[in-house]
Amino acid sequence: MSEPKPDPLLESVRFGPHLARNRFWQVPHCNGMGYRDPSMLAAMRGMKAEGGWAVVSTEEVEIHPSSEVTPFIEGRIWDEADLPAHRLVTDAIHEHGALAAIQLVHSGMSSPNLWSRLAPMGPGHQSLTSPSPTQSREMTTADIADLRGWHRGAVRRSLQAGYDVVYVYAGHGLATLQHFLSPRYNHRTDGYGGSLANRVRLLQEVLEDTLDEVDGRAAVACRIAVDELYGEGGTTREHMEEVLSIIGELPDVWDFMVGSWPDDSVTSRFGPEGSQEQYVRGLKALTSKPVVGVGRFTSPETMRRMVRQGVLDFIGAARPSIADPFIPAKVAAGREDEIRECIGCNICVIGDWTMSPIRCTQNPSMGEEWRRGWHPETIRPVGGERRVLVVGAGPAGLEAAMSAGRRGCEVVLVEASRELGGRVAAESRLPGLAEWRRVVDYRVGRIDRMPNVEYYLESEMTADEALAYGFDTVAVATGAVWRSDGVGIHHRLPLAFDGSVPVFTPDDLPDGGLTGQQFILFDDDHFYLGGALAEWLARRGARVTLVTSEASVSSYTANTMEQHKVHRSLLELGVEILAHHVVTGTESGEVGLQHVVTGHPASRPAAALLLVTGRVPNDGLAADLLGRRAEWGAAGLGEVRAIGDAFTPATIAAAVWDGRRFAEELDGRDDAAVFRRNVPGL
């Protein structure tokens, strides 16, 4: 018998002065914690190192107050006062044998400098890259010298803080070095503008400064947008090939990405695993230095193919490492089927856009490593024997059952319908959302291997039954129902429907008895579901008018960086979008409408009205049980807790988190833990 071939993913790779222990590279990712929550941040990065990543990177770290992105919370290394927070990070990473990388950024024309009030600057006098009444100022030669000095200083401080890899950053449309390189932004006529050799000059100088400053004590990485996706108006793949012919041998490692952040972190709704391969393939041949690249890689087979086919040397990952910090450890241990695969929902990105600590649909411990002491793979055993009933097998119930099972409880999970998964099972049947099914599959896969967790389908649980079987604890995870009265964000009182137009809610979909060809969909929820249902209906051949009180369709999906993609796909499918309007009721076969700014009324005939507005918890069972507290003692019952949407309708991520919290608190609630936080020292 021949020896099994060594796994290419586990090979060590030399770069700069380092030997990476494998090919897993956690590329920089934002997290909404940054300079504000250093202890939370350090524990999160340390968890990646514990999970086996060879390199663990920071988010973008501002090198100077002229590059600050208030209100967003990123890293800062403005001066030595920032170093203790960075040492927490490097110590946590080193403790588990990984290399720590810092991504230094000067954001230039992407930084309105609202906090520092310094004038933004970039290659030219131009509007900022996001709407703002401020412009960037054209950098003079003196400014360029300043920038190089600030970058050098930040490199020096990075070494003081213990980083092993220093990034020079020219990606995501967010960095001055990219703005200089790009014909889109750089219209200069001096030695830093015009030809590509001139446009690349600043990047080249900063790379040389950085190499000089680290002097072999750290590796230098360059993260760069290999195609800005603006066609000839921006940096193209051909430009990138020329860039590599000039500076291809300068950094110790290249980190390639594509476009702006929404292109790079495309959701699964709009891009599959490995979607950047077409842009990156072949670039590795133009440099002798190792290459990192991303593509929401969750399949070890795809990762191996990237290495075997010479596309990449390092498997870069942000979201896959968030959903499962232990991917490398699982690959090394031959436990690939236990990988908790990212579903590509970008709930993690919402943290950054809303300046709140990162969270993840698949990994409820993300961001809770320090604050609550949660670990993505382990959970402490519960003392003694404990019988737990979980009612409802949506995301909250599945997570509660799995986590209580991991704690060693005897768990019975009952589900009224014929399938496990609750809202996830239903929503993952909508166009583009198939990968969301992984929330169910991962948990069912684990539960199936636990002899102490049983589940029963088609078992609607009543309070009598819950009290009859001698459970110590009951989790009521029965979900929520969509309102059919129109109450939501806009309307606070029920609407009048005269019955002349059939009214549906998402609970009737995708397989409910939906009829009609001319739909009015009233979206007063504004996240993904209204747009996804409009798409589903349109693909079935229905004519759809989507009514929203907001200025744009699915407006909250701006936070998952897919709003413009949702809008485009609906327009391409012929969906009519009626912005700034609300539905006011139905009368004589017509749907009443109103303009939210002018108050102007209107009406339209429709065959059906679909309401995506508010939800109410399905909390009847919880209320029954709580109302019969006097009987608990005789039944041996100690606690009843509504969790997930049955407690408060929210995101799938929130339901999973609440399921985990239920299991964590089986031996007592720990409300104080949420207040563990860093307070700035004076």
360 has catalytic annotation: no
Interaction between residue 478 and ligand ADP (CB under 6 A):
yes
Q: Which of 151, 374, 644, 661 binds ligand ADP (CB under 6 A)?
A: 644
Residue 369: strand, helix, or coil: coil
* Interface region with ligand SF4, contact rule CB under 6 A, candidates 23-31, 337-345, 372-380, 626-634: 337-345
Beta carbons of 198 and 191 less than 8 angstroms apart = yes
Q: Which of 154, 207, 347, 440 binds ligand SF4 (CB under 6 A)?
A: 347
Interaction between residue 346 and ligand SF4 (CB under 6 A):
yes
CB burial string 215-226: b at 16+ within 10 A, e below? eeebbbbbbbbb
172 has catalytic annotation: yes
Interaction between residue 617 and ligand ADP (CB under 6 A):
no
Interaction between residue 505 and ligand ADP (CB under 6 A):
no
Interaction between residue 586 and ligand ADP (CB under 6 A):
no
Read off the tokens for 472: 């110590």
Beta carbons of 387 and 410 less than 8 angstroms apart = yes
Which residues, in sequence order, are CB contacts of 328 under 8 Å at separation 6+? 9, 22, 24, 51, 52, 53, 54
- CA gap 480, 347 in Å, rounded: 20
Interaction between residue 382 and ligand SF4 (CB under 6 A):
no
Q: Which of residues 300-329 bind ligand SF4 (CB under 6 A)?
A: 319, 322-323
Residue 362's binding partner among ligand ADP, ligand SF4, none (Cβ under 5 to 8 angstroms by kind) is: ligand SF4
Interaction between residue 348 and ligand SF4 (CB under 6 A):
yes
Q: Which of 52, 351, 357, 394 binds ligand ADP (CB under 6 A)?
A: 394
Q: Which of 166, 342, 475, 591 binds ligand SF4 (CB under 6 A)?
A: 342
Cβ 322 to ligand ADP shortest distance, Å: 20
Angle between helices 38-50 and 83-95 (to 10 degrees): 20
Which residues, in sequence order, are CB contacts of 680 under 8 Å at separation 6+? none
Please spell the DSSP secondary structure of 393-413, one letter per residue.
-SHHHHHHHHHHHHTT-EEEE
Q: Which of 655, 662, 663, 666 binds ligand ADP (CB under 6 A)?
A: 655
Q: Which of 357, 479, 531, 585 binds ligand ADP (CB under 6 A)?
A: 479
Burial class of 278 by CB neighbour count within 10 A (0 to 12, 13 to 18, 19+): exposed
DSSP symbol at 163: -
Q: State which residue, 477 or 487, has the beta carbon closest to ligand ADP.
A: 477
Q: State which residue, 115 or 456, has the beta carbon closest to ligand ADP.
A: 456
Cis peptide before 262 (omega within 30 of 0): no
29, 64, 151, 172: the active-site residue: 172
**Phi, psi (rounded to 5 degrees) for 182:** -90, 130
Residue 343's binding partner among ligand SF4, ligand ADP, none (Cβ under 5 to 8 angstroms by kind) is: ligand SF4
- CA gap 361, 565 in Å, rounded: 21
Interaction between residue 343 and ligand SF4 (CB under 6 A):
yes
Residue 609's binding partner among ligand ADP, ligand SF4, none (Cβ under 5 to 8 angstroms by kind) is: none
Interaction between residue 360 and ligand SF4 (CB under 6 A):
yes
Residue 347's binding partner among ligand SF4, ligand ADP, none (Cβ under 5 to 8 angstroms by kind) is: ligand SF4
Read off the tokens for 258: 């594509």
- CA gap 598, 593 in Å, rounded: 12
Residue 322's binding partner among ligand SF4, ligand ADP, none (Cβ under 5 to 8 angstroms by kind) is: ligand SF4
Interaction between residue 403 and ligand SF4 (CB under 6 A):
no
Residue 416's binding partner among ligand ADP, ligand SF4, none (Cβ under 5 to 8 angstroms by kind) is: ligand ADP
CB burial string 60-93: b at 16+ within 10 A, e below? bbbbbbbbbbeebbbbbbbeeebbebbebbbebb
Interaction between residue 46 and ligand SF4 (CB under 6 A):
no
Read off the tokens for 602: 């209107």
- CA gap 377, 40 in Å, rounded: 18
Interaction between residue 420 and ligand SF4 (CB under 6 A):
no
Closest Cα to residue 576, out of 551, 550, 547?
Answer: 547
169 has catalytic annotation: yes
Cβ 268 to ligand SF4 shortest distance, Å: 8
Residue 426: strand, helix, or coil: helix
Q: Which of 391, 474, 501, 521 binds ligand ADP (CB under 6 A)?
A: 391
Binding residues for ligand SF4, rule: CB under 6 A, are 319, 322-323, 342-348, 360-362
> Which residues contribute to the site for ligand ADP (CB under 6 A)?
391-397, 414-417, 422-423, 460-461, 477-480, 618, 621, 644-646, 655
As annotated, the active-site residues are 30, 169, 172, 264
